[in-house]
C-alpha cells in the first residue's frame, strides 16, 4: 500500500468531504419540503441522539488504530501493526453490535428525555447504522494509519450518495402515514449508506490492504502481546471517546435545553421545534467547511504521532504549523463567504428561515475549526486527557450560557450561537497553553490568521455588492427571481474564491514552498499568471 503525503491525503479527504457535504446540502431542501420545518426539527433531534451513540462507539478506537498503526509502522514493527488492526476490528464489531441493541432498547427513553418523543421511530431506523459504521470505522482507522486516505474518501462519497437517494425515497413513501413515519423514512438511507461504505472498505482492504515492505528480511517478529495492544488501544481510544462523547452529549443537552428554554421564552412547542430546525440547518451548512478541517485533522494526526514516536521534534513542529496555517486559510474565507451571502444562499437552497443565525454564527465556524485542530495535536502528542478536560470545561460554560440567554425572548435561539462561541473559546485558550507547554515552543494563533483575515475581508467587501448588481440585472432580464439569485450566488462564490486566493498571494499568504507540498495534479489547475505571482 502506497503512503501519501500529508498534503495529498488532506486534498483527497477534503475533496471527498466537500462532495459529501454538497450532496447533503442539495438534498436538505427536498427533505424539508417533504417533512416541513417541524418534521425537520424532529428528524434533526433523532440525528443528535444517533450522533451521541455513534461517537461513543466509533470515535475513539478508529483514532487509536490510526495512531497505533502509524507509530508501529514508523518503528518498522509491521506484524504488530497488522495485529493491532485486527484486534481493534473485533473490538469495534462487538461494541457496534451492543450499542445497536442499546439504541433499539433506549430509543423511547432518549427521545422523551430530550423533549422529542416523536423522534423514537427515527432513532429505531438509525440503530442498524451503528453496527455498520463500526465496521467501516475500523478500516478507515487502518487506512488512515497507513497514510492512504483514498479508500476512506471514496467510501464517504458512496455512503452519502446512497444515504441521499434512499432517505428521500423512503421519506416520500412514508410521509403519507404521518410525520413520525416520514421522519423515520428519512433516516433509513443512513443505515443503507453505512452498509455500502463498510462493504466497499472491506473490498479495498482485501484487494490492497497489505503492508508492503521493500526488505522483507528486515521485518521484525511480533513484539507485543494481544493484552498489551488492547491496553494501548484503550489507552489511546478512551480519552478520545470521552472528549468527543462529551461534545456530543453537550449538543444533545442543547437539543433539550434549547426547546425547553424557548418555551420558557414564550414560544409554543411547534414554534420551538421550528426554531430548533433553523439551528439544525445552520449547523448543517457550517459542517461543509468543517468537513475540510476534519480531513486536515485526519491527515495530520498519524504524521504527528509517527514523528512523535521517533522523537523528531522538528517534524512535529512543522506539521503543527502547517495544520494551523491550513486551518485559517480554509475557515476564515468560509466564514466570511457564508456570513456575507447568508441570505442569497438560504434562498438558493430553499431552506427557509434562520438567515440571522448564519450571519452571526459564522464566528463559531472559525472557533470550532481551531479547537478541532488543537484537539488533534494534543491527541497526537499524547495529551489525551488534557484535551478531554478542556472540552468538558467548554461544554459546561456553553450549557450555562445557553440556559441563561435562550430564555430571553429578544435573544431566543441566538443564545445557542453565543453559547457555542463561549464553549469553544475557553478550550482554545486552555489548549493553546498546553500545546506551548508540552512542546516548549512559542507560536501564535493570531499571526497565521492575519493574512487570511485581510484577504477574506477584501473578498467580503467585493462579493456582496457584486451579487446585488448581478442579481438585479438578471431579474430585469429574465424575470425569474429564484433563477436570478441562484446564478448570481454561484457567480459570486466563484468570484469570491478567485479574489481571496489572488489577494492572499499578493500579500504573501501563499508561498512557493506551499506549492511544493501540493499534489502536482492540483497545481496544474492554478492559472500560470497566478503561479508567477507566488514568491
Which single residue is written with the C-alpha cell 458512496?
Answer: 158
pLDDT in tens, 36-89: 888 888 888 898 899 889 888 887 887 787 778 777 877 777 788 888 888 888
Rounded-to-integer distance, Cα 469 and Cα 387, Å: 47
Which whole number is the average pLDDT over 393-408? 92
pLDDT in tens, 340-360: 999 999 988 877 778 899 999
Is the sign of the CA dihedral 103, 108, 109, 115 positive or negative? positive
Q: Please state, for a pLDDT cut of 70, what percent of the chain lies above it.
A: 87
8 band by pLDDT with thresholds 50, 70 and 90: low
DSSP secondary structure code for residue 224 in this structure? S
User: Could you count the other beta carbons within 10 Å of the beta carbon of residue 20?
Assistant: 24
Return the CA Rg of the chain. 23
The segment with the largest mean pLDDT, out of 26-35, 213-222, 258-267, 307-316, is 258-267
Please spell the DSSP secondary structure of 336-386, one letter per residue. Answer: HHHHHTHHHHHHHHT--S-HHHHHHHHHHHHHHHHHHHHHHHHHHTT-HHH
C-beta separation of 319 from 443 below 8 A: no
Indicate the average pLDDT of the chain: 83
Number of residues assigned to the chain: 535
C-beta separation of 377 from 305 below 8 A: no
Question: Picking from 26-35, 87-96, 252-261, 309-318, which range would have the lowest pLDDT averaged per residue?
Answer: 309-318
C-beta separation of 138 from 88 below 8 A: yes
DSSP H or E stretch at residue 517: helix 512-517
> Which of 508, 286, 278, 236 has the alpha carbon at shortest distance from 412?
278
Looking at residue 512, its pLDDT comes to: 72
Looking at residue 418, its pLDDT comes to: 93
Question: Picking from 5-19, 145-159, 394-408, which range would have the lowest pLDDT averaged per residue?
Answer: 5-19
Rounded-to-integer distance, Cα 428 and Cα 373, Å: 10
Rounded-to-integer distance, Cα 235 and Cα 473, Å: 61
362 band by pLDDT with thresholds 50, 70 and 90: very high
Q: Please state, for a pLDDT cut of 90, what percent of the chain lies above it.
A: 29
Rounded-to-integer distance, Cα 80 and Cα 99, Å: 28
Residues contacting residue 29 through CB under 8 Å, at least 6 positions apart: 349, 350, 351
Rounded-to-integer distance, Cα 177 and Cα 184, Å: 11
C-beta separation of 78 from 211 below 8 A: yes
pLDDT in tens, 102-137: 999 999 999 988 888 999 999 999 999 999 998 888
Task: Give whole-number Cα distances, 95 to 53, 116, 131, in Å.
Answer: 11, 27, 8
> Which of 203, 216, 89 has the alpha carbon at shortest distance from 145?
89
Looking at residue 290, its pLDDT comes to: 81
| 131-148 as b/e: b if 16+ CB within 10 A | bbbbbbbbbbbbbbbbbb
The pTM of this model reads 0.75
> Which of 236, 225, 209, 216 has the alpha carbon at shortest distance from 76?
216
Question: Picking from 1-5, 152-156, 205-209, 380-384, which range would have the lowest pLDDT averaged per residue?
Answer: 1-5
pLDDT in tens, 424-477: 999 999 999 998 888 777 777 888 899 999 999 999 999 999 999 999 999 888
- Cα angle value 487/162/91 (rounded, 5°): 130
Position with higher pLDDT, 308 vs 422: 422
pLDDT in tens, 477-525: 888 888 899 899 999 999 998 999 889 888 887 777 666 665 555 566 5
DSSP secondary structure code for residue 210 in this structure? S
Residue 213 has pLDDT above 70, yes or no: no
210 band by pLDDT with thresholds 50, 70 and 90: low
Looking at residue 302, its pLDDT comes to: 66
Amino acid at each position: 500500500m502506497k503512503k501519501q503525503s500529508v498534503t495529498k491525503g488532506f486534498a483527497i479527504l477534503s475533496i471527498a468531504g466537500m462532495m459529501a457535504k454538497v450532496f447533503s446540502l442539495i438534498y436538505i431542501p427536498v427533505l424539508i419540503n417533504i417533512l416541513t420545518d417541524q418534521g425537520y426539527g424532529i428528524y434533526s433531534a433523532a440525528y443528535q441522539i444517533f450522533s451521541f451513540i455513534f461517537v461513543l462507539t466509533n470515535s475513539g478506537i478508529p483514532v487509536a488504530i490510526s495512531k497505533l498503526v502509524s507509530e508501529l509502522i514508523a518503528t518498522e514493527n509491521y506484524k504488530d501493526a497488522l495485529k493491532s488492526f485486527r484486534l481493534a476490528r473485533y473490538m469495534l464489531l462487538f461494541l457496534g453490535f451492543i450499542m445497536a441493541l442499546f439504541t433499539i432498547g433506549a430509543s423511547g427513553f432518549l427521545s422523551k428525555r430530550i423533549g422529542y418523543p416523536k423522534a423514537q421511530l427515527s432513532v429505531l431506523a438509525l440503530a442498524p447504522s451503528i453496527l455498520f459504521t463500526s465496521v467501516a470505522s475500523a478500516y478507515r482507522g487502518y487506512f488512515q494509519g497507513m497514510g492512504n486516505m483514498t479508500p476512506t474518501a471514496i467510501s464517504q462519497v458512496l455512503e452519502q450518495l446512497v444515504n441521499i437517494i434512499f432517505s428521500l425515497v423512503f421519506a416520500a413513501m412514508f410521509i403519507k402515514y404521518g410525520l413520525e413515519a416520514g421522519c423515520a423514512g428519512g433516516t433509513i438511507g443512513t443505515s443503507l449508506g453505512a452498509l455500502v461504505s463498510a462493504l466497499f472498505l472491506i473490498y479495498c482492504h482485501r484487494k490492497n490492504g497489505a503492508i508492503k515492505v521493500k526488505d522483507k528480511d528486515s521485518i521484525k517478529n511480533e513484539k507485543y502481546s494481544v493484552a498489551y495492544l488492547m491496553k494501548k488501544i484503550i489507552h489511546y481510544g478512551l480519552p478520545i471517546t470521552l472528549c468527543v462523547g462529551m461534545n456530543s452529549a453537550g449538543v444533545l443537552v442543547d437539543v433539550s435545553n434549547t426547546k425547553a428554554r424557548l418555551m420558557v421564552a414564550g414560544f409554543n412547542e411547534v414554534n420551538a421545534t421550528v426554531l430548533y430546525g433553523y439551528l439544525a440547518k445552520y449547523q448543517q451548512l457550517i459542517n461543509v467547511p468543517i468537513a475540510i478541517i476534519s480531513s486536515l485533522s485526519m491527515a495530520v494526526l498519524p504524521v504527528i504521532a509517527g514523528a512523535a514516536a521517533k522523537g523528531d521534534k522538528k517534524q512535529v513542529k512543522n506539521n503543527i504549523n502547517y495544520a494551523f496555517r491550513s486551518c485559517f486559510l480554509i475557515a476564515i474565507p468560509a466564514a466570511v463567504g457564508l456570513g456575507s451571502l447568508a441570505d442569497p444562499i438560504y434562498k438558493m437552497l430553499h431552506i427557509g428561515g434562520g438567515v440571522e443565525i448564519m450571519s452571526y454564527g459564522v464566528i463559531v465556524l472559525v472557533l470550532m475549526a481551531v479547537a478541532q485542530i488543537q484537539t488533534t495535536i494534543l491527541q497526537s502528542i499524547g495529551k489525551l486527557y488534557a484535551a478531554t478536560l478542556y472540552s468538558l470545561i467548554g461544554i459546561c460554560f456553553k450549557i450555562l450560557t445557553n440556559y441563561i440567554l435562550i430564555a430571553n425572548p429578544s435573544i431566543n435561539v441566538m443564545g445557542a450561537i453565543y453559547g457555542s462561541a463561549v464553549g469553544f473559546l475557553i478550550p482554545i485558550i486552555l489548549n493553546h497553553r498546553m500545546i506551548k507547554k508540552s512542546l516548549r515552543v512559542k507560536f501564535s494563533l493570531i499571526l497565521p490568521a492575519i493574512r487570511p483575515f485581510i484577504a477574506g475581508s477584501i473578498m467580503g467587501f467585493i462579493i456582496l455588492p457584486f451579487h446585488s448588481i448581478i442579481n438585479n440585472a438578471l431579474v430585469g432580464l429574465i424575470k425569474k427571481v429564484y433563477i436570478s439569485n441562484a446564478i448570481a450566488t454561484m457567480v459570486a462564490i466563484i468570484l469570491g474564491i478567485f479574489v481571496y486566493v489572488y489577494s492572499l498571494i499578493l500579500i504573501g499568504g501563499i508561498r512557493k514552498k506551499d506549492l511544493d507540498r501540493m499534489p502536482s495534479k492540483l497545481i496544474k489547475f492554478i492559472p500560470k499568471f497566478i503561479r508567477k505571482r507566488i514568491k
